[in-house]
Structure 1
Amino acid sequence: MDLKTLTTFVTVARLKNFTAAARELHTVQPTVSRHISDLENELQTKLFDRTTHQVDLTPSGERLLPEALHIIENDQRVKSVIKQVDSDEHQEIKIGYLATACTFFLPDLINRFRVKHSSSQLRLYEMTPAEQVEAMVDNKVDIVFSRESHHLDESYFSSSLVYEDTLIALLPRNHALASNENINIDDLHNENLHLFHRNEWLGVYERIIRVCRENGFAPNVVGNPMNMRHLVTTISSGLGISIAPRCIKFIADDSCVCKPINQIDIQLPLTVYFRKHNKSRIVDEFISHTIAESTNIQAML
């Protein structure tokens, strides 16, 4: 019993005529007759009562008809589902991102992508760097936008630079140094310093401490916020200053100012990570789109 035979059976049952069924199926009447005969032999029952002018279903044929329709409809549904999965326009892309590092470019990047892929489904997940690594390893996301990571095996994952960030001084607007065009690193030696938590900053925390010591002082670190919005709130409240990525300017309010720092040259790459053996064309399209837009993203800083 195959789909072609069941389709022939359903067509004959609907049209009540072998010749009409053959015409609709774009075949010849002997082929239709053979399909019905094969089906009756397989089921060991008669499916039609044939008369001179039409054919009618037997009780067995009546019982088979809804089952045959269900099988045919289910086959069409399965094919449709698989076709949808294979279609670029209906695949979803799961993206893990760092909020502050991506806020200024990710919405526009996605909106431009959706101009050409309007039916694609993009799902965004705000994550810490540690959560991103876990999600990539566990195949929970397709792409992550993250700071440089040494925890993703290069045998399985590829990456491409999106933009290079630098460090700035984040100060309350009424701070004594806020009117300076640039800040010298040793100007910070008596300041209460809030640094983004070392577990979420992948080595940058230690590099900042080292630069301060190389310039003759041990920084007075009084706080380690776990996210950048908390950091901005802390500085806005006048509770100290911070050394932070320049991209923080996109979420800082008017009560803060951002100033370049002399004697500190730490680059903070923001990178897109993805699987080397990715099988999704729509994910590949998004990666290519991101790489093509990287120059424009860098210019936004």
Structure 2
Amino acid sequence: MDIKTLKSFISVAEHQSFSAAAKQLHTVQPAVSRHIAQLEESLGVSLFNRNSREVIITSAGKQLLIDGHAILEQIEAASLRVKRAEQGEIGRLRVAHMPSACLPFMAKLINRYTNHYPGVNISLYEMAVTQQLEAFKNKQIDIGFSRAMPTALSHDYSSHTIYNDQLVVVVNQKHTLANRQSVKLEELQSEAVILFNRDEAVDLFDDIIAMFKKAGFSPNIVSQPRHMQTLLTEVAAGLGVAIAPYCIRKQYSAGCHFLTIDGLNKIIPTQLHVNKSNQAATVAPFVELTIAMKQEIEQSMSE
């Protein structure tokens, strides 16, 4: 039973006429008769009682008429869903982000996307850099907001810089450096240092250690928290000073003071990453929207 045959049957049943059905379907009566004969043969039932004056639908035909309408409606709905899926209007989208770098703009971005694509089921995941790399590897996420990809993996991903950040020193508000706006790295030589855990962001940790070595000393690392909020809490509690991206000031940072680092021009990018092998139609519209909002995002992170 194909769609053309089913449509021929429905037309005959509704018009109670083979000739009227042929006219509606823009075909010839023999073609319609052939469709009905093929349908009756395949089902093993009579769908119509025919004589020279009229065409009367049988009980089997009445049931097929009900089911036939439902089948055509389902086919039409499926066709519409397929087209919408191809255009990224329905489906799923899994987005991972680092909360410390993305909280100020993520809600607005997701809200704007869902307003444009209400049929997409979107899932958000808080993940550090290494967690996102593992999730990409296991095809558990479609989009990742993270730091720059490791060089060895960068050729597998399409990456877009959303905004650039800088490293800063974070001290307790009662620290002797809290009345200043900047500091030399060498001034931290006698300080207890808190750094974000290396397992969560290898490149960030190694870059900070390289900075200390360039300054001529190794830091006295007393803590490596796995969450940036914990890092801020430890600083506010007076457990040490920290070096971290400036974006973490957007988290709860009461009791903390942020200082720029003299002579440091290192850029810390926040980027959107998509694996080039990902063919999900929902991805491209989200990437396009994020790029369109780039200036707005940059402004929200600089305030």
Matched, 1:210 2:215: no
Shift of 1:247: 0.3
| Structure 2 CA distance for aligned equivalents of residues 294 and 80 of structure 1 | 33
Whole-Å Cα distance in 2 between the matches of residues 210 and 46 of structure 1?
85
Number of positions where the alignment pairs a residue of Structure 1 with one of Structure 2: 301
CA contact under 8 A between 1:149 and 1:202: conserved in structure 2? Answer: no
Asked if 2 retains the 8 angstrom alpha-carbon contact of 1:133 and 1:152, the reply is: no
Alignment CA distance shift 1:147-1:53 (3 Å): same
Q: Secondary structure at the match of 1:104?
A: helix
- In 1, Cα distance between equivalents of 2:159 and 2:296: 18
8 Å CA contact 1:171–1:241 kept in 2: the answer is yes
1:201 aligns with 2:207: no
Name the CA distance, whole Å, in 2 between partners of 1:298 and 1:59.
69
2:97 matches 1:97: yes
- Contact 2:85/2:281 (CA < 8 Å) preserved in 1? no
Report the CA distance shift for 1:83/1:152 in structure 2 as closer, same or farther (over 3 A): farther
After superposition, the Cα gap between the structure-2 partners of 1:241 and 1:57, relative to the gap in structure 1 and judged at 3 Å, is same
Deviations 1:95-119 (A, max 9, x none): 1111111112323333444555455
In structure 2, distance between residues paired with 1:240 and 1:167: 17
SS class of match (1:210)? helix
Alignment of 1:1-301 (within 5 A): 1-22=1-22, 24-25=24-25, 27=27, 29-43=29-43, 45-51=45-51, 54-58=54-58, 60-61=60-61, 64-65=64-65, 68-69=68-69, 71-114=71-114, 116-117=116-117, 119-150=119-150, 153-299=153-299, 300-301=301-302
Would the aligned equivalents of 1:10 and 1:65 in 2 still touch at CA under 8 Å? yes
Equivalent residue letter for 1:198? R
Q: Report deviation, 1:167.
A: 0.8
**Change in CA separation of 1:68 and 1:232 when aligned onto 2, cut-off 3 Å:** same
What SS does the corresponding residue of 2:202 show, helix, strand or coil?
coil
Tell me, in whole angstroms, the C-alpha distance in 1 between the residues paired with 2:29 and 2:42: 20
Q: Unaligned 5+ residue runs, structure 2?
A: none
Query: Which blocks of at least 5 consecutive residues in structure 1 are unaligned?
Result: none
- How far apart in 2 are the matches of 1:212 and 1:4? 75
Amino acid at match of 1:186: E
Cα deviation, 1:233-268, whole Å, max 9, x if unaligned, reads 212222222111100111133321111122444321
How far is the alpha carbon of 1:224 from its aligned partner? Answer: 0.5
Identical pairs, percent = 34
TM-score (norm 1): 0.85
Is the 1:278–1:284 Cα contact (8 Å) retained in structure 2? no
CA distance in 1, matches of 2:58, 2:295: 72
The superposition leaves residues 8-36 of structure 1 with CA deviations (integer Å, 9 ceiling, x where unpaired) of 22333344444554455455544433322
